[in-house]
Amino acid sequence: MGEEDSPLIHPSHGSYHELPHKESIFSPRRALFRWFVLLIVSLICFGSYFAFDEIQPFDSQIQKTLNIERADFSNLYAIYSFPNIILVFFGGLLGDKIGVRLAALIFVLFVFAGAVMAPLAVSLTAAGKISQRSGYIFLLAGRFVFGLGGESLNVIQTSMTAIWFAGTKDLALALGFTLSMSRLGDYLALSFSPQIAKLFGGDWIAALWFGTVLAGISVGAVLLYSVLDKASERYFPDRKIDPEENALNFKAILQFDARFWIVSLLCMTYYSGVTPFIALCNDFLKDSYHFDDEKAAFYSGIIILASMILSPILGKFLDMVGNRPYFVVLGSCMILPAHLMLAFTQVTPLVPIILIGLSFSMVPGCLWPSIPLLCKAKETATAYGLMTAIQNAGLSLTNFAAGRIADLSYKEAMIFFVCMDLLGFAFGFMLIYVDDYKGRTLCLRSGATKEDLVEDDDK
């Protein structure tokens, strides 16, 4: 069968490779079907990433319409992130307990409700139907509801990809592809919202409603995924949901592999060096390099654009070569000089920005695909949830700190990012060491087994 191209064997996940069923069109062994499912999965967060960032390009219009200050506007992001230090962990647990289909449906409905509430709040205020104060509270509530689903939906999406691709030769490519589609949502929202508004005769509130339509597509994608996943359920016997066995098992979490904790801490420090930087980048370029609005937006968009294009390409490369801990260190090596250049030199920011974009594909391309190699299939969503909770815990502090430090001086903010990079660097070396000690699972090529690793070493 020409379409079957993957040795579906995996230390903890592989189980759909040996089933004696006659291959149906819904068999995950069929590469074409698997990739079709992935396309649907990738649409799930395309809309939610767009809706998350759609308010950013219209910050001044929103502030004016609701009569709020910059700090009030920042609260629209904080109210999304803070609850997710805890919530996303339970979101992951829920995914393993009730299954990814039902969990995704719950979370995407929260996302959709939030994506309706945000433009509705602004529309009602602009039309004078509610006061500016009520409009702001309504908008805050919308962002809160959006946050109840947003991060957990991301965790479930990553778990869906792991379910379908762990054990194949294409896990990092698949995760890179979903990441790429999510970043496309981000990029469209951040860089093209004014153009979208132009399509609606310059009506910026219509551009916010456009985000609601994309969130509607996310709902449709979850429903379609559920149908396809249900149809191929018999190929995944490992996924049978046993509510007893899957009861909140905190003990199991404490017994997670040491490398899971290192990867999670690395995820926290690495994203702390990048995400707050992206948030500040626009203003930083305008203040430090005297760029105009358009040039600053173009340059800061390069990071997301680069990682959007490179994530699947580097994903495929990492699938083929394995050695994830080494590439994490290499990715950290790129971001460190980039922040140093921005802090201490006057070289064109293009070079460091491209380095950050390259690193922002390589490091996530190693971190997220590492999880299925370190945990059991039934714990995947829990593990992703916990990792994202740890990431959010760090990010909520570092976002806050970086903003305050940047108010004093951008140079010191860059030095702050250098410190985050150094921490990431240290965790990267720790990962190499611990993985080496524990049998080099993270060095496996995707779809390979430990025996392959021994063979490689023998050559």
Ligand X SMILES: C[C@H](NC(=O)[C@@H](N)CCCCN)C(=O)O
- Report 254-293 residues binding ligand X (CB under 6 A): 271
- Stretch touching ligand X by CB under 6 A, among 131-139, 178-186, 333-341, 438-446: 178-186
Q: Which of 6, 168, 380, 388 binds ligand X (CB under 6 A)?
A: 388
Three-class SS of residue 30? coil
Q: Which of 312, 364, 365, 424 binds ligand X (CB under 6 A)?
A: 364
CB under 8 Å to 414, separation ≥6 — which residues?
339, 340, 342, 343
Residue found under tokens 């509801």:
145
Q: 202: alpha, beta or left, given left = phi > 0 and alpha = psi -120 to 50? A: left
Longest dimension (CA), the chain: 74
Q: Which is nearer to ligand X, 14 or 365 (CB)?
A: 365
| Minimum distance of ligand X from residue 385's CB (angstroms) | 11
Q: Which is nearer to ligand X, 89 or 235 (CB)?
A: 89
Rounded distance, CA 452 to CA 293, Å?
52
Residue 359 near ligand X by CB under 6 A: no
Length of the chain: 459
Residue 379 near ligand X by CB under 6 A: no
| Minimum distance of ligand X from residue 273's CB (angstroms) | 13
| Minimum distance of ligand X from residue 264's CB (angstroms) | 12
| Minimum distance of ligand X from residue 153's CB (angstroms) | 9
Rounded distance, CA 130 to CA 143, Å?
18
Contact 363, 332 (CB under 8 A): yes
Q: Which is nearer to ligand X, 157 or 232 (CB)?
A: 157
Rounded distance, CA 359 to CA 233, Å?
37
Residue 301 near ligand X by CB under 6 A: no
Q: Which is nearer to ligand X, 8 or 117 (CB)?
A: 117
Residue 89 near ligand X by CB under 6 A: no
- Report 183-212 residues binding ligand X (CB under 6 A): 186
Q: What letter represents residue 76's amino acid?
A: L
Q: Which is nearer to ligand X, 146 or 425 (CB)?
A: 146
Contact 101, 224 (CB under 8 A): no
Q: Which is nearer to ligand X, 186 or 421 (CB)?
A: 186
- Stretch touching ligand X by CB under 6 A, among 166-174, 179-187, 256-264, 281-289: 179-187
Q: How many CB atoms lie within 10 A of CB 334?
A: 19
Query: Which 8-state DSSP code applies to residue 440?
Result: -
Q: Which is nearer to ligand X, 8 or 139 (CB)?
A: 139
Contact letters (x/-) for ligand X, 39-78, by CB under 6 A?
----------x--x--------------------------
Q: Which is nearer to ligand X, 315 or 325 (CB)?
A: 315
Residue 152 near ligand X by CB under 6 A: no
Three-class SS of residue 105? helix
Residue 179 near ligand X by CB under 6 A: yes
Number of residues that bind ligand X (CB under 6 A): 12
| Minimum distance of ligand X from residue 394's CB (angstroms) | 11
CA-wise closest residue to 319 among 270, 359, 368, 356:
368
CA angle 396, 399, 403 (to 5 degrees): 145
Q: Which of 332, 391, 399, 441 binds ligand X (CB under 6 A)?
A: 391
Q: What letter represents residue 79's amino acid?
A: I
Q: What letter represents residue 167's amino acid?
A: G
CB under 8 Å to 225, separation ≥6 — which residues?
37, 40, 41, 44, 101, 104, 160
Q: Which is nearer to ligand X, 112 or 271 (CB)?
A: 271
- Alpha-carbon dihedral of residues 197, 200, 206, 208, nearest 10 degrees? -30
Q: Which of 151, 170, 229, 435 binds ligand X (CB under 6 A)?
A: 151
Residues that bind ligand X (CB under 6 A): 49, 52, 151, 154, 179, 182, 186, 271, 364, 368, 388, 391
